[in-house]
């Protein structure tokens, strides 16, 4: 018998609608909401970034999320196969290939960061973290020492990848659906409590100003702030798991009886709520402890243990629970990333799920080693250095491949597909919302993504446009 409980090559399906929702939410909620959101928001100046990010989620993210679900459920194939099935011989399939490539790139560094969370869990258990918090050099030095060690981060990355591979190996639905059901609410409650505590530390008013009073010059002077636009767009795609066919793949395991618009809205709302709560948890502490919000990828790994440390013994328990939950959230996201590549290679070469997950997961682990090794120099709290390997991987995948993939997906669902069929398959039908959705896919999303690309590559300026 096959381990997946299915015949080889017969497509799997979610056990239930709830299972699908949880898996899609599990994919969306991950390191992107806490680690990536807070450091990108911090580097991009806070409020204006947050506002742009929300605009991107609502007007571009949710419509493309709907498009991915609809394409996947209709085509019943992986990221590449779906386009080949629905639009044979047309160029849209490029989005699928870019998606598989992005899965390799993103998971390569995602596994590294997730590995750091495993290291933190163990450090809480062994008392190493307690010692670091109490020490004079603080958590910044502890973190810096850890990531600049040549072998340790690779070990934790390896461990995380082994766990991810095992889950994909077994077929997604068995463990992960059930675990998510318990872990997600627990994580939410913990984030809310910690946000409240963090706000009591004395940095709340500065944090509110940072997060909620946008610097309007970003809107009056967009050409000088192109990176913030690109960062907001990239973060929206990353956080919603969009633009590389992860949700096409998940949608393909779906039966007809799920209402897609409700599912898309549910996933996007939950994901965004998590990001904002994480901001409310991290930035008050950032200001209370006098840390620079633009500190970079190490932000949560230094700030959070400092908050927990100020809680005494309770803090050890909370820190342990917290990094455990982040690791679990990262796991359900990593599974969805690996699944994109595995689903493609399984079908393409007619390999078993078992063989494919080990092979592809192994390659991705190897690809991640430079990211594991490369995270530059640390000087106490400050993360020094230009864009290093991990940053570059993240930038290429999140700010270029994902929005470009999303652009093609929007063009396909808006133009490449028969409108009546798209409306019917999406469960919107010929309603106002359905037509608004098609309008966004046809015009709004492609134009906005295109203009942001032109802007950030400096082409508009060269052509003499002043927006």
The interface with ligand TRP within residues 225-254 (CB under 6 A) comprises 238-239, 241, 244, 246
Q: What is the Cα–Cα distance from 275 to 239, expressed in whole angstroms?
A: 9
* Residue with Cβ nearer ligand TRP (36 or 438): 36
Does position 368 bind ligand TRP by CB under 6 A?
A: no
In angstroms, give the least distance from the CB of 132 to ligand TRP. 26
Minimum distance between the CB of residue 268 and ligand TRP, rounded to whole angstroms? Answer: 11
Q: Do the Cβ atoms of 30 and 117 come closer than 8 Å?
A: no
The strand pairing partners of 378, in sequence order, are 383
Which of 333, 357, 371, 456 binds ligand TRP (CB under 6 A)? It is: 333
CA 323 → CA 40, 231, 239, 384, 390, distances in Å?
Answer: 20, 26, 19, 25, 21
Are the C-beta atoms of 443 and 92 separated by less than 8 Å? no
Residue 24 vs 441, nearer CB to ligand TRP = 24
Query: Shortest distance, CB of residue 39 to ligand TRP, whole angstroms?
Result: 13
- Give the interface segment with ligand TRP, choosing from 23-31, 52-60, 133-141, 219-227 (CB under 6 A): 23-31
Contact 240, 271 (CB under 8 A): yes
Q: Give the residue with the Cβ less far from ligand TRP, 121 or 246.
A: 246
Shortest Å, Cβ 238 to ligand TRP: 5
Any contact of residue 28 with ligand TRP (CB under 6 A)?
yes
Its sign, for the CA torsion 319, 324, 330, 334, is positive
Return the residue of 228, 337, 410, 449 that touches ligand TRP, per CB under 6 A: 337
* End-to-end C-alpha distance for the chain, whole angstroms: 62
Q: Residue 30 interacts with ligand TRP (CB under 6 A)?
A: yes
User: Of 5-13, 333-341, 369-377, 410-418, which part binds ligand TRP (CB under 6 A)?
Assistant: 333-341
Q: Which CA distances in Å does 414 have to 64, 246, 364, 405?
A: 10, 19, 33, 14
Q: Please name which of 10, 13, 9 lies closest in space to residue 254, comparing C-alpha atoms.
A: 13
Report which DSSP code applies to 224: G
Q: Are 347 and 81 in contact (CB under 8 A)?
A: yes
Which region among 40-48, 209-217, 332-340, 353-361 touches ligand TRP (by CB under 6 A)?
Answer: 332-340
Q: What are phi and psi of 68, to 5 degrees?
A: -65, -45
Told to check if 69 binds ligand TRP by CB under 6 A, we report no
Which residues, 112 to 131, sit near ligand TRP by CB under 6 A?
none
Report the interface residues with ligand TRP, using CB under 6 A.
27-28, 30-33, 106, 238-239, 241, 244, 246, 333, 336-337, 402
């Amino acid at each position: 018998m096959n381990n997946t409980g299915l015949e080889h090559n017969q497509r799997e399906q979610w056990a239930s609608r709830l299972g699908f929702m949880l898996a899609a939410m599990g994919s969306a909620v991950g390191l992107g909401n806490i680690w990536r959101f807070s450091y990108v928001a911090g580097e991009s100046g806070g409020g204006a970034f947050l506002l742009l990010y929300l605009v991107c989620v609502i007007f571009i993210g949710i419509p493309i999320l709907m498009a991915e679900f609809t394409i996947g459920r209709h085509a019943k194939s992986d990221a590449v196969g779906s386009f080949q099935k629905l639009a044979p011989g047309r160029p849209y399939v490029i989005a699928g290939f870019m998606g598989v490539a992005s899965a390799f790139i993103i998971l390569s560094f995602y596994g590294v960061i997730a590995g750091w969370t495993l290291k933190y869990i163990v450090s809480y258990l062994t008392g190493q973290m307690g010692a670091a918090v109490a020490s004079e050099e603080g958590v910044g030095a502890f973190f810096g020492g850890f990531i600049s060690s040549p072998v340790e981060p690779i070990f934790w990355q390896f461990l995380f990848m082994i766990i991810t591979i095992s889950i994909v190996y077994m077929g997604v639905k068995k463990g992960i659906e059930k675990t998510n059901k318990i872990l997600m609410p627990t994580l939410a409650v913990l984030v809310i409590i910690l946000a409240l505590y963090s706000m009591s530390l004395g940095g709340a008013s500065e944090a509110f100003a940072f997060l909620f009073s946008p610097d309007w010059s970003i809107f009056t002077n967009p050409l000088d702030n192109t990176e913030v636009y690109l960062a907001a767009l990239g973060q929206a795609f990353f956080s919603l798991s969009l633009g590389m066919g992860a949700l096409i793949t998940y949608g393909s395991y779906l039966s007809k009886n799920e209402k897609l618009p409700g599912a898309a809205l549910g996933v996007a709302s939950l994901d965004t709520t998590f990001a904002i709560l994480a901001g409310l948890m991290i930035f008050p502490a950032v200001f209370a402890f006098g840390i620079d919000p633009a500190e970079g990828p190490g932000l949560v790994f230094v700030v959070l243990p400092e908050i927990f440390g100020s809680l005494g013994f309770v803090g050890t328990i909370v820190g342990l629970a917290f990094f455990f939950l982040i690791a679990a959230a990262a796991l359900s996201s990593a599974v969805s990333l690996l699944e994109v590549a595995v689903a493609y290679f399984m079908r393409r070469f007619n390999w078993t799920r078992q063989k494919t997950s080990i092979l592809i997961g192994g390659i991705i682990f190897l690809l991640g080693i430079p990211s594991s090794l490369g995270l530059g120099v640390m000087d106490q709290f400050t993360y020094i250095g230009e864009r290093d390997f991990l940053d570059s991987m993240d930038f290429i995948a999140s700010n270029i491949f994902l929005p470009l993939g999303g652009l093609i997906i929007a063009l396909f669902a808006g133009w490449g597909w028969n409108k009546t069929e798209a409306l019917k398959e999406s469960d919107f039908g010929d309603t106002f919302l359905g037509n608004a959705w098609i309008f966004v896919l046809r015009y709004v999303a492609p134009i906005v993504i295109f203009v942001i690309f032109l802007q950030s590559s400096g082409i508009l300026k060269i052509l003499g446009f002043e927006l």
